[in-house]
């Protein structure tokens, strides 16, 4: 066994990804972080240096297969093994399906789903060797469809299908597979969420100060990894949504609709106020 545990995190430059890198470093893991923003990765590296822990910044785009392979290869070249891969990189969107540009769906799937596929594919041999942990940072949207988030819900559902299949294929190999569903988290994801034409919405419809912090989410994910849990659903609302959705799906659909109708500038308001159907 190697003396130092190695953890990889995509989408490492901000939000949950950045918090994961810091929390893992505090626990003694050597961490590799991938992001398109090298400047932010270097800033993160300087912060982690204070813990006397190595951090490997790798610039890359999870939408590009070559970049994902390069991320894994760079880690193996430096440290020789991988114990944890956390597929965290992701984007969101908010627009009605009948109003959006199809490129928005391509962007969501390329980032959220294919980014997870590429990194997982190239890291899997090393995770199997280490009997390590494969993690996907998902959402309740992977269990329950959310109106005005068709691409987001589709990409997260696809991630669930992928990781659950990999889990079953490796029931007896020692591989740990976990799906983490944080719920609404205070981060920049809603500001960068895509609108119908593919431009960022540049605002958040939620009161960010009342949401779970990225640091708390990171701690819960790491605790789930340490306990080798199958899934981690972090909010009471999320747990109820998943549970009730199994037995009363139509009821939950109505609750979700009603809840998201209340969002600031909800696309649903226009659709129903002006009689679109």
Give the strands of the sheet with 84-87, arranged side by side: 55-59, 30-35, 6-10, 84-87, 133-137, 176-181, 231-233
Per DSSP, the three-state class of 212 is strand
- Rounded Cα distance between 92 and 265, Å, is 16
Q: What region, left, alpha or beta, does residue 80 occupy, with left being phi > 0 and alpha being psi -120 to 50 degrees?
A: left
* Catalytic residue ranges: 152
Contact between residue 108 and residue 58 where contact means Cβ atoms under 8 Å apart? no
Contact between residue 7 and residue 209 where contact means Cβ atoms under 8 Å apart? no
- Rounded Cα distance between 244 and 225, Å, is 26
């Amino acid at each position: 066994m190697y003396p130092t545990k190695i953890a990889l995190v995509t989408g490492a430059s901000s939000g949950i990804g950045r918090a994961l890198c810091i929390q893992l470093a505090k626990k003694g893991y050597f961490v590799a972080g991938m992001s398109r923003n090298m400047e932010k990765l270097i800033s993160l590296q300087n912060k982690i240096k204070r813990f006397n822990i190595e951090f490997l910044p790798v610039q890359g785009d999870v939408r590009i297969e070559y970049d994902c392979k390069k991320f894994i290869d760079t880690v193996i070249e430096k440290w020789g093994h991988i114990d944890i891969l956390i597929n965290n990189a992701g984007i969101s969107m908010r627009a009605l399906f009948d109003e959006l540009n199809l490129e928005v769906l391509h962007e969501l799937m390329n980032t959220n789903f294919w980014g997870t596929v590429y990194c997982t594919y190239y890291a899997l041999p090393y995770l199997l060797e280490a009997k390590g942990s494969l993690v996907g940072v998902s959402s309740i949207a992977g269990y329950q469809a959310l109106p005005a988030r068709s691409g987001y819900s589709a990409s997260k559902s696809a991630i669930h299908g992928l990781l659950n299949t990999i889990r079953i294929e490796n029931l007896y190999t020692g591989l740990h597979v976990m799906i983490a569903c944080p719920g609404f988290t205070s981060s920049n994801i809603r500001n960068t969420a895509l609108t119908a034409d593919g431009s960022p919405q540049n605002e958040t419809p939620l009161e960010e100060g009342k949401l779970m912090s990225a640091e708390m989410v990171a701690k819960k994910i790491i605790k789930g990894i340490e306990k080798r849990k199958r899934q981690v659903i972090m909010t009471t609302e999320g747990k109820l949504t998943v549970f009730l959705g199994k037995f009363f799906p139509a009821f939950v659909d109505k609750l979700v609709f009603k809840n998201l109708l209340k969002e600031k500038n909800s696309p649903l308001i226009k659709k129903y106020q002006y009689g679109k159907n």
